[in-house]
Amino acid sequence: MPYSRTTDHPSIAQLGHGRCLIMGDVALTHDGSLGLAHAFVDAIADAGADAVKFQTHIASAESTPSEPFRVAFSRQDRSRYEYWKRTEFGEDEWRGLASHCLERNVLFVSTPFSVEAIDLLERIGQPFWKIASGETSNVHLLERALRTGIPVVLSTGMSPLAEIDAAVARVKSRGVPLGVLQCTTVYPCPPEQVGLNLIPHYRERYGGWVGLSDHSATIYAGLAAAAMGIDLLEVHVALSREMFGPDVVASLTPAELRQLVDGVRFIERMRANPVDKDAAAREKAPLRQIFTRSLVASTALPAGTRLAREHLAIKKPGTGLSPERLEEVVGRRLTRAVEADHVLRVEDIEGLAES
């Protein structure tokens, strides 16, 4: 089984150690096309993400024909049940997608929407369970996931804190590794509703991994969350914004996903390398001499000249006396003759000590 253990892939082993696991979420944007689903695997892997996430819907186990559409987007499905049914994959097809992910060195993850979906996905193997926002209160599904012993990542888009508390307590009671994602179930999500303030709150309240399931259709929220040191980041992906499906308006393109991945890794390197300002200044001493200034003679002056302010100028490079010593130099005599623009040094000034 590919990636059935938390240590089977470096992205999982590094969770909680300063590296954010980035998931490209296909959801059902493949629209039931197996070929398109495989194309997503390649596109998300090429963009540098760590995981490709799908959704596993089994219509007969999950839904009834009366389930309403969240968004009336389909011109070919009369009900959401028909949509689930039309876009289902069988076990062999899921195995093929998991194998493709293994070949591309990305994690295969699929969100289960029924106990039967967990049964299927457990046979295939995945590194953790991503529990969707609408399923956080589904005790039966959560209990079935916990019986596998692999980590559980909770999305919180529809839950009040009390509901999240209960789900977290259930996971912790089993000793299963836990992740909690801030999520706002709005497609696309405006910046005012992203809720970055909740990420440190979840870390303090629950411990474990924290992250963001982002629906903003931009790279900005993910980058901001990465700067806060999140462990997981999930973003929807569409091969183009002209694709069909309800999640496209909340998705990144592969090119944008590449930008996001590069940005997150850049941020991680910054966070992992704090700068000692004094040490950095010492390292830049040669450059500092080029860009800073010195006291220089404003005109040619004979030896013994008692220096007045008009005899002095402040110019580059910074290889001589610092301009900060101007008042200390005024009134002192030159020990030797100097030409105009001569960079003054301690030995040029009578009675001047090294600073």
Reply yes or no on whether the pLDDT at 333 is more than 80: yes
Q: pLDDT at position 281, please?
A: 87
Given a contact cutoff of 8 angstroms between Cβ atoms, the answer to whether 193 and 164 are in contact is no
Confidence band for 33, pLDDT divided at 50, 70 and 90: very high
Amino acid at 87: T
User: What span, in angstroms and rounded, lies between the C-alpha atoms of 98 and 102?
Assistant: 6
Q: pLDDT at position 17, please?
A: 82
What does 259-278 look like in DSSP terms, one character per residue?
HHHHHHHHHHHHHHS---HH
Domains in the chain with CATH codes: 10-272 (3.20.20.70), 279-348 (3.90.1210.10)
Given a contact cutoff of 8 angstroms between Cβ atoms, the answer to whether 107 and 128 are in contact is no
Q: pLDDT at position 154, please?
A: 98
Reply yes or no on whether the pLDDT at 3 is more than 50: no
Q: pLDDT at position 285, please?
A: 87
pTM of the model: 0.87
Q: pLDDT at position 238, please?
A: 98
pLDDT digits (tens, 9 = 90+) for 241-297: 999 888 999 999 999 999 999 999 999 999 999 999 999 888 988 998 899 999 999
pLDDT digits (tens, 9 = 90+) for 171-203: 999 999 999 999 999 999 999 999 999 999 999
pLDDT digits (tens, 9 = 90+) for 339-354: 999 999 999 999 999 9
Residue range 212-234: average pLDDT? 98
Given a contact cutoff of 8 angstroms between Cβ atoms, the answer to whether 302 and 348 are in contact is no
Percent with pLDDT over 90 in the chain: 85
Q: pLDDT at position 175, please?
A: 96
Given a contact cutoff of 8 angstroms between Cβ atoms, the answer to whether 97 and 125 are in contact is no
Q: How many helices (H) and strands (E) does the chain have?
A: 14, 11
Reply yes or no on whether the pLDDT at 13 is more than 80: no
Paired tokens of 253: 């393109």
